[in-house]
Structure 1
Amino acid sequence: MELMRIGAAGSERPVVRQDGTTYALDGLTTDIDGAFLADDGIGRVARALAAGELPQVDVEGERVGAPIARPTAVLCIGQNYAAHAAESGSEPPSELIVFLKHPNTVVGPFDDVVIPPGAEKVDWEVELGVVIGSAASRLTSREEAEAAIAGYVVCNDVSEREHQLVTSLGQWSKGKTAPTFCPVGPVLVPADEVDPGDLRIWSTVNGQARQDSTTADLIFDVPTIVQELSQYVRLEPGDLISTGTPQGVALSGRFPYLAAGDVMEMGVSGLGQQRSRLVSDE
């Protein structure tokens, strides 16, 4: 089961795709957001599908939006693959490195990514995204953490490295929060259909391979991330957690940074793939 939001930016409508057929969710919810997830939305969709209660809908040719409506928070984990930490010149962290992206960074999986004025070090970062389904604070076990997860998505934690690492005085968010810097989707897959510990994760730029790894190489796995984050912040339904990127980014020095006209493609096994073109703010 794949939850999606289809339509023009700001006017998306919720649908679900099952075995290649798309069904409208207008009768169940106005959107795929925190309120929907907290109210057993995914369960209600599954039951309606099984009962044959949802009308089929043709969405061919329509824009695909991010599969969750604008989240209240986008929380990101840094250097969570050992090889990526090494290519960044750092030791693997012993504690979660946490930074935030503004919710308005979230765009659809095929939308353009806008290069901010003067930015010369724009980088790609494919990541496994975790969508929270219920309020979570000070969780005491991995089981509680797993129960708080609604599902999984593909994220691209687009970054401007000069702003992140040079002019930021150590506060990474400055290089992470430009509008459009977080393409998400195309689908939200329910948690009970995904093994987040063994997923291929990959990216290309202009058709050339960049990242190719597996979530088995995460330093902090998904339940650990959710449980640890909950000690410091009350996670809310609809919040998005981006869990870190593997090696193969431009920061490594092995590849050039992105420029207008470049095309990023990336995906996570079982969660689909996205394609974003870089455009100049000018």
Structure 2
Amino acid sequence: MSGNQGTQEERPERPSEVDGTAHLFSALGKIIKTLRRNAGLSQAELAQSTHCSEDLISSIERGVRTPQPDFLMRADKALGAGGVLAAAVDDVREALARARTRHPDWFRDFAKAEAEAVALHYYEVQAVPGLLQTEAYARAVFRHRRPLYDEETIEKRVADRLARQAILEKWPAPTISFVVEEAVLRRPMGGRGAFRDQLRRIIEIAKLRTVHLQLMPTEREEHPSLGGSFTLLTPRGRREVAYTEIYGHARLITDPEEVRMYAERYGIIRAQALTPHESLAAIEKMLGEL
């Protein structure tokens, strides 16, 4: 289901804490904050200079989100850091590589292809796509899974999921689109308070100029793909592939004819879904109704 695989509810678990590299990202966050202040820049101004969101800058400075290598290079220039941030790029790459190897074996090939893709298209029928999930929503997904995960596994899975979201921060950005069934956003996973935050997160991402997000209304009388969720992705320098996942049974599909069928379905789904503008308005209305 498009990479959609819950405990310490009060304390956010950083992706890096799982493999012991929290100190690296925490230290980088403090350094970036100090350099920004010394440069006389606000978080919003640094965000504009580095082609990312103000929320991301805040999260990085607090050590909650991982600063990606390309961000560090842009920030080094924007802050006049003289190579201080650029010097950390190799260490960050190594930490991110370790994070990717934490994924379950059956998911690892997809996670690697996803991280390297230049185009990503997600169709989701069961849960909010993993790249859009908040920490609370992701934890609820893993906590309620059957058979039950132990607490350590839950925390690792949540951390891995949040680490994948670095794709949304890459620059140059890959082509990213989502089509989500309306029913997904009618199920308040994690409770109404947590789900409000989830809808706000979706709205935030839907407003990014690098993302196209569409809602598929339940009232549609025709539908080209009732077989479940899937993902289409194009690795750099290679042909488009498709990915499906049902109860942990994953398929990374490379056969050109089968991939073409998934691409055709996705095209029709997008044509039948609400436009991005209509989708954003509909989700904002849902948020207002909670």
The structure, 1 or 2, with the larger RCO (C-alpha pairs under 8 Å, 6+ apart) is 1
Q: If the TM-score is normalised by the length of the shorter chain, which range does it land in? A: under 0.3
TM-score between both structures, scaled by the size of structure 1: 0.26
Higher CA-based Rg: 2
**Which structure features the higher share of helix residues?**
2
**Which structure features the higher share of strand residues?**
1
